[in-house]
Structure 1
């Protein structure tokens, strides 16, 4: 049996403090495919943790039956540091309390950091080049002297991910339908993941502007390819952010459904020697993330939505009304906030008091928006 629980202590930033990271491995150590699964990088997002809670027993049973054909590393709550970030009874699991940095932003540009170390090491053997790149990045990670607990955690997680072939980062939105973020080169290869997950949308971008975790490895291989055109370098990691609905969508019923989807994906790939179950209906084809509008407020106020999740809207159609909370018509005046594109409502804000600049809805369209091309695509 290879199903094991690991406990890794992470030295804290204050004297005498340590936080334990609990994670699992399963499957043969010499398996040809390695899978990295993590949830709750934003520590206040728990739907992925619930999904992995229900997936772990299935992996344990498959391991006991000798059915695992991949090596799995599973981090059900990958950011235990963020679990303690509570202020005035509010869990602030999205941001590091010391630096204010979003836990899913500013992950490193690995090729920039290892390009000199790779010089002269690449050959005409694609598989060997992947192994060399992975080993070089691993050596760089091992050479780092991390000065904060957050950085120590990031380096440990990155070490697992960079040596994996499939890397799935489980998140959720505020109030949302299921969707995926991934790199354009990885589609339609990950269409089976979208199908098994049952997503409403798969949004693709080479660079969404924030250094998100799921973009680190595609960016590594993409930059290596472009800098070394005479050497074969495949896109050696299938990575994606899986957005499992909204923060409030945490229940056994939902978790069982999501775990079944993950199990079906892995079994369908032959990574678990088991019946994947009934094939799901095809999910929509991917669309560029630049074709998704993030509708923002231009003033503070109280939101009154006119639409629901999944509703289709046309450009100029009111999505919500913003009720004034000051001025000559305070608490009486209201004005519409309108869609800037044709599409459907993927997500909404659950908090109805909003400040100026708040993203209140994502509208998934099909045509790249000039205001989004080449810009910062994320909400915060």
Structure 2
């Protein structure tokens, strides 16, 4: 999830509960959402004028704007990850993508030197997002950006998120950085090779190629530097790790694992958690032990920089895969797959969630998805039943609960 905006929408991630189901009361003066489109657009223009956008620019940006029903359909039909970490990461962090990413880092060496010197962001971090968001700019979305933002701002579910984006788009038009008639991107208004929203581009845009414009759609240097500046703004600390693969002893206090259970990395080392790269220099940093497929699968320590990934996208599987991708581009070897215990199929997951809900756990919807609420509930019940509390739902846990 972006710091002040919205969770990333690539690969069908859900909006957070805090931002969903929000409807603002309309007033004739501002027409914040819904109703007649002409009145709504007039309200947007009036608001834009108070923020210094010239009337002719607002007219130019919104001329011919329409509601796109395909955008609304995509918004209502957002899916979620049903793949395991091994399945998703093996597909997205392919050797071909790694090779392309390394070549891109050589091709744009000057831009990458700048992001390290000016923003303290490791090249692999930006490159992995570039790969996962648009396959290095190959597919950036085919929705008209202006219409997508008009549609999402007019819709009364989250106008407080998208109305400012529409005004930021006007600023991009004013700067000559976007053609509202032809610019395309993601269905939720994200633009360019790393898929950023207009407000983020206005606030963090960098002219990487020196042509006087910020074109994150066509210019790779612009996209690379703009993404890096944005990542820095989310709190990325230069010189610190974000994800570190580890090997595990047979026995650990498994209930201490999971996001949100950070302790100094040095304490994990004392428990016998061992970095594969042998680097224990960051033992003073807080770290969480994450086990995407339980204690018998891949294992990682996450450090404070991992929070940037959680702000970029709220999906645990996407986030962990993107962070792992960045470590590979930074020299790490392929992770050890291990031998995870078989998980539950859709029917089994729904049966488990139904049981967990009956036991009083807040797991959200019974949907067959292993979300954060279900992981926490699983871990709690594993501990209660004397099972290794690694948060990975198995048939053994379901049988024990039945």
Task: Tell me the TM-score normalised to structure 1 length.
Answer: 0.24
Larger helix percent: 2
Larger strand percent: 1
Query: Rg: which structure is higher?
Result: 2
